[in-house]
Amino acid sequence: MSGCASAPEKIPAQPDAPTSEAIVTTVGKQWDTADQKVAAAVSVARDNADKPDVVRSEASVALSYLPTPNAGEVALATQRAAKADQKDYASAVDFGKKLLAQIDQNWAKVEADNREAVRISKLKDERIAQLTQEIERVKRDAAGNIWTMTGAGLVVIGGIVCAFSSPRAGIPIILCGAFAGALPFFFDSPYFSIIAGVSLALSAGLCLWWLFDRVKDDVNKSDGKKG
């Protein structure tokens, strides 16, 4: 009873995408916020070029959102400032715009790839669930086929016994075959536990009644002999 009523083992779900969609979204928003604040501070510093204190303060604010530059980049910027050549500045601006566009493109690809990874992971989970259900169905069908074949074999044997020996011996075998063939329907029934429990209770009651009646008969026979 407990074996038939037990639930199948739960298959673990597939892992999510390498980076969760929530984290990607959060990092993207934080990145955008930092970029906006840096851009705002630099814009204000440029508009107040005639106010050195404002420029230094806004530049400090912008730098607080950026990593510490390496020595090579600092040397290039120092050299560019020393030359003060507008062509160098135009080239640096053009490079910065192209690099920013490439970063935005790559980040958009990361978000798209992550969404696709999450979608594929969910599809895998659904497919695993489908295959698990199919395996359980095949197992039930195989067990049912065994009982059906057993029942059919007993019916054939019972028919042979009836034909060549005695119906009194063959009919019980046929009934046993019919019972064996019907077992899969009992197992698949949602009321199997109730039916099995009631059957066991009735069997136990019949056994107790038989024992009581047997003991009673023995006692009556013993009393009759004494009399």
Chunked in runs of 10, what are the mean pLDDT values of the chain (227 residues)? 43 54 73 84 88 90 86 88 88 88 87 83 86 84 75 81 77 76 66 70 78 75 59
Q: 3-class DSSP state for residue 1?
A: coil
Could you list the residue range(s) of the whole structural domain that residue 82 is in?
21-124
Instruction: Please state the domain count of the chain.
Output: 2
- End residue of a domain, out of 92, 124, 156: 124
Residue 97 lies in a domain: yes
- In a domain, residue 118? The reply is yes
For residue 20, what are the CA distances in angstroms to 26, 77, 175, 208?
Answer: 10, 38, 61, 64
**Continuous segment of H or E residues that includes residue 51:** none
- d(CA 152, CA 162) in angstroms, rounded, equals 15
Cα three-residue angle 114-119-125, rounded to 5 degrees: 125
The reported pTM is: 0.47
205 in any annotated domain: yes
Q: Are 184 and 147 in contact (CB under 8 A)?
A: yes
Q: What is the Cα–Cα distance from 177 to 153, expressed in whole angstroms?
A: 7
In a domain, 72, yes or no: yes
Q: Is 136 left (phi over 0), alpha (psi -120 to 50) or beta?
A: alpha
Residues 106, 25, single domain; the answer is yes
185 inside domain: no
Q: Report if residue 147 sits inside a domain.
A: no
Q: Identify the residue whose tokens are 């329907």.
A: 185
**Chain mean position to CA 207:** 48
In a domain, 45, yes or no: yes
Quote the strand ranges of 19-152, DSSP E: none
Q: In terms of domains, do 114 and 28 share one?
A: yes
Of 99, 124, 149, which marks where a domain is finished?
Answer: 124
Question: Does 213 reside within a domain?
Answer: yes
pLDDT of residue 5: 40
Domain finish residue from 124, 153, 177: 124
